[in-house]
Amino acid sequence: MENFREKTVLITGAAGGLGRAIALAFGEAGADVSLADVNEEGLHETAALVSGRKATARVSVVDLSSRQACFNLVKETVDHFGALDVLCNVAGILGPGHTTEISESVWNKIVAVNLSAPFWLIQASLPHLLERNGNVVNIASSGAFIGEAYVVPYTATKAGVVQMTRSLAMEYIKKPVRINAVAPGPMATSMIDNVQFPEGVDMELIQRYMGIRPAADPAQVADLVLYLASDRAANIHGACLVSDGGHSVC
């Protein structure tokens, strides 16, 4: 099992789904975890579960759609724990809809949470991560590599996360920090369970990207994130590891 004792990990989107699974995995490995989400109830539930594993958890109920909020979150994390070793950018929103009906506000919100927030959080975290030989794990999606109807803003931002990861890795290739991404496919989370497509969609097109194998347990993806953030993955930098049950090859 990975050992993250005396390490601090900041995880966004931690109120449920993959974010919660990642928080539990790091907590089990001994890390102090800073948990962020807009969902206060879910966030405190995650913190209670992490604390049950004898790890220390701090919660921040925060909307990450502004640069200042991202910088405040990093500062509060470092002020509380004294350091930052791993940043996990997990928070994301789907926002399905017909392309011709997507409003400016919906587009801007998806871009702000899925793409801008990870960038601002990385920008704020880098000085601390460089001090600790730390690393970043961004959550992309298999949708970054294939066409998916009715979720154009989501897949566009996730493709952006992949390229952002690669470009940042190149910029910091001579520095003591690693920057990588994980691209999950369909997972058994509330994002998938509660997704509502608008009227008039072609369900045949949606079925083409729902995957053939069963949706993954978020814990399976969390294990990959934990490995990627660990010293065992010290030679992995600028990678996007796909964990999608073959979703992106169909």
Helix (H, G, I), strand (E, B) or coil at 32: strand
| Gyration radius of the chain's alpha carbons | 17
- Please tell me the distance from the alpha carbon of residue 167 to that of residue 65, in angstroms, as a whole number: 22
Contact 153, 213 (CB under 8 A): no
Among 150, 154, 172, 209, the active-site one is 154
CA 198, 201, 204, 210 dihedral sign is negative
Amino acid identity, residue 197? F
Q: State how far the Cα of 79 lies from the Cα of 71, in Å rounded to an integer.
A: 12
The answer to whether 61 and 43 have CB atoms below 8 angstroms apart is yes
> Any residues with CB less than 8 A from the CB of 72 and at least 6 apart, and which?
62
CA-closest candidate to residue 138, choices 98, 94, 78, 182: 182
State yes or no: is 150 an active-site residue.
Answer: no
Q: Just list the catalytic residues.
A: 154
